[in-house]
Amino acid sequence: MKIWQSVIDEGAGYLFSLSDSLSITETKFPGMLASVANGAMIIASDYSGQHKEATHEAYSFLVTTDLALNEWLPLLQEFRERWLPDGRRISFKKLNEPVRWRALPAFLEAAGKLSGNLITVLIDRRVGSFIDGGSESALEVFPDCFPPHTKYGTVEKMLRLASFVALILSGLRRENQPSVWISDHDETLDSHEKCEGFARLATYLTFGLTGWKNAADHLFGTTESPTAPYWSEDIAALADLAAGAYCQMSNHLPTFLGKEAWQVLVAPGDVESQRARTIGDWLATSNSALKHVLLRLEPDGRGEVRSSAQAFSGKLQYFLETPSANQPST
């Protein structure tokens, strides 16, 4: 059964291209996504590659349901009691710390039993704005979505994040299905004004992609909210691990090799980071309830931005499918 619901408007630019890549790949490789249609949708996200030295940015989303989550929480509790009873969070950046590193395999084993999808968008830093005319145009088109004096860089980050939230909702959610999104706390959501504006922006983009008329509620908050559930940090940690690992593996993963489905071998020695290699091996070897997909935007040799959908398949190889390049949305 096909899970992903394709964006049909080619005017959606990069979002159309990414959606089309995933749709084509899922058709070729059925079963690569888990259904998240029953119950309320739960989304947790985290990001990596936001520093100046990074060559890529990663936006990672863990997508599950309240029903699946409730079944999984006893496993999380068992993991916590045995490995991290002090409450410390699993974090990609902090895996060099011995206690977290020893706990990682058990955390990943437990995570693989959560039914859902771990979807990451990896973007080359050379990719331009997601809207024609850049941040200045975004401020003109969506004047009620950005607080006064918002920096252009923050505008673009808010636009990209809202675009990917809209992409996830349009691809996996039903119109009458309620959803909750929990984000890592960063500069795009660090004030009440930004949260209010972001909610409007994500709503505009979601309804634009889907054509929904009377959608169920979509609520959101951050992991630092006083009302955030106790498990929010742990499911957001899965997104954090994926985002960090993909950024460190970015130069070793395939980009654009044509419009046909293909497989590429990647030697484990190519990935220098032990943290990234461990997470990559988990994704590659885990025959789990938690599915994973990497969506990628990368300029080719002529500077055209190409999209691809990839997934590890076996310990050292992945498959992917790529359609043609697309321009930013207007």
CB-based contact 273:248 (threshold 8 Å): yes
Of the candidates 137, 174, 181, the one whose C-alpha atom is nearest the C-alpha of residue 159 is 137
Q: What is the pLDDT of residue 260?
A: 58
Compute the 3-state secondary structure of the chain and give helix, strand, coil in percent, each to the nearest 5: 40, 20, 40
Mean pLDDT per 10-residue segment, the chain (330 residues)? 94 95 90 96 94 91 98 98 96 96 97 98 96 95 95 95 97 98 85 91 96 94 89 97 95 71 62 88 84 94 90 56 47
| Domain range summary for the chain, segments of one domain joined by + | 10-321
Per-residue pLDDT at 74: 98
Question: Could you tell me the two tokens for 250?
Answer: 């970015």
pLDDT of residue 286: 62
Whether domain 10-321 has CATH 3.30.420.10: yes
Dihedral-angle region of residue 97 (phi above 0 means left; psi in -120 to 50 means alpha; beta otherwise): beta
